[in-house]
Structure 1
Amino acid sequence: MSHFLLRSIASLEPNLKTQISVISVVDYYELYQAGLKDAIVLDLGQAQTYSRGHLPGAVHLPVTRIVRQDGYATGLMPSKAALIELAREYGLCSGKTIYLYDDEGGGWAGRMAWILDILGVEKVVYIDGGLRAWMYAGYPLSSQREVPEASDAPEELNTYPCIQLEELQKVLEENQPLNLIDARSAGEYNGVRQFAQRAGRIPGAQHYEWTRAMRLDSDYTLRSLDVIRSELQTLYSDMSNQFVVYCQTHHRSGLSYLMCRLLGLNVRAYAGSWSEWGNNADVPIQND
């Protein structure tokens, strides 16, 4: 059982050294044209999409490298050994700025930002809208497969960004202050659509579907962060409380995590998400 259960989550310090920012494809293209230096560009999209065309210089990172399955729970944080090997193989802790994008509007890229928080990478930049925004703007694609460059890897991880089922259950039992975001569809949130043994949501969770944060009608870039903050303020009375995001597997909620980090909020992710919580008969659920 986690030692975090011995104290309130309000007493936990984020202790994150990673700086996460966002850049438009327009600004990124200008940087690339000027000669992007001391940077690693990671493509978290589908392998076949990468093969057809990707941002120039981008290295493909299969999303299977950033998830782990244990029973029903299919989106858990990878093991310490697996993450350290990933960091070594892709040079993630080489001190270079890491640029992230995917082909869907930020779910997998956001999860990767969460992984990089755990690894303690210093500087991470999300390429807003990813491949969709890049193509929408008409910029050229590359079909050249890039190979990652290995580097030293960290010996320890910062697991603060990951909250476990036992800790979350304790927080709910003790009615500790918490802003819980359910990033799934309205049907899943209300218990109408079922993808586990039980349907519904974690008690106290507010619904903010992951796609609500993006411009679905155009280039899949993030909507105004000021607008998103205002929308969250209508759901949560105290924005200084710790946020926890979840979905079914912490894929969709990857964008929710990234959104909260860009807003400067104290956020963690429940990677077990509903694939774990909804299949556990010993934890409470809420549905309509």
Structure 2
Amino acid sequence: MSPAELAARLTDPALRVVDCRASLQSVSAGREAYATGHVPRASFADLLEDLSGPVVPGKTGRHPLPEVDSFVGKLRRWGISRTHQVVVYDDAGGAFASRLWWMLRWLGHDAVAVLDGGFAAWVAEGWPVTDETVSEPAGDFAATPRGELLIEGRELAELAPTARKVLDARAPERFRGEVEPIDPVAGHIPGAVNLPFAGNLRDGRFLPPPELRARLVAALGGTPPEQAVVYCGSGVTACHDVLAFARAGLPLPRLYAGSWSEWITDPARPTERGDAP
């Protein structure tokens, strides 16, 4: 959704807006940015407190999915019901907002969009900003989880490399294992193809659908999208690649929500470095 489209709907009672700004370097950065100024009517979703569940060392990744009932309670507190159009945004090209976009799609709510260009585009176009805390009426969101959009690490590990197409949304240097600024092991899942989420963007906005489609089809190499698996470091930016599939008009691949940080908790799981074969 463009900033102008969102601005035109700000008074619509069927609209809900959620600010997903975050930083992997500072846990408080997103909330501080929200307090300074945000899109009118926007609630704030914290990456760690709202969009992730508890981390269990040696078992989960860095941003495990929260329990469904707990998350549904937060959606209701943000005033979200199944009748609402939800718009989510961040200041990172959609890298964090796409996580909430995916979670809503996972729970059966398709009326969700990411603000193209994020908060920067909203401000650049001169739309209003407020520091007031939102107060929407409580929602009654009911979840209908779509299990086909998820895959667990155990299931992925049991698939033969020839029976899967795994797409890695991280930056090329992390995929190749040349650097690893966050996780204790560098590299990627054997057989994975690098599909950096940043390649879905140009000047901070999503590529046009035909360009996205060409990029994604090339990465799939003939595999049907719904048979592909997307992962990243912790299940956040991989959602950006899933969003790209949706924007391109393609079926959604499965998300490995635990991603690399969960994969490497089992030392028996293989890893690779270097470029894909």
Q: TM-score, normalised by structure 2?
A: 0.86
Q: State the Cα deviation string for residues 263-285 of structure 1 (Å, max 9, x = none).
A: 22231211111111123211121
Please report how far the alpha carbon of residue 155 of structure 1 lies from its aligned counterpart in structure 2 after TM superposition: 6.1
- SS in structure 1 of the partner of residue 96 of structure 2: helix
Alignment-derived partner of residue 16 in structure 1:
none
Alignment-derived partner of residue 157 in structure 1:
145
Alignment-derived partner of residue 116 in structure 1:
104
- Which residues in structure 2 correspond to 1:1-288 (within 5 Å)? 23-32=1-10, 35-45=11-21, 46-64=30-48, 65-68=50-53, 69-72=55-58, 73-154=61-142, 157-172=145-160, 175-176=162-163, 178-194=164-180, 195-216=182-203, 220-241=204-225, 242-263=227-248, 264-288=250-274
- SS in structure 2 of the partner of residue 125 of structure 1: strand
Contact 2:242–2:252 (8 Å) recurs in 1 = no
- SS in structure 1 of the partner of residue 18 of structure 2: strand
Identity of aligned residues (%): 25
Please report how far the alpha carbon of residue 87 of structure 1 lies from its aligned counterpart in structure 2 after TM superposition: 2.9
AA aligned to 1:87 is: L
Q: State the Cα deviation string for residues 151-170 of structure 1 (Å, max 9, x = none).
A: 22426533332211011112
* Cα distance in 2 between the residues matched to 1:233 and 1:120: 25
Contact 2:231–2:238 (8 Å) recurs in 1 = yes
Change (3 A) 1:101 1:266: same
Q: TM-score, normalised by structure 1?
A: 0.83
Contact 1:114–1:161 (8 Å) recurs in 2 = no
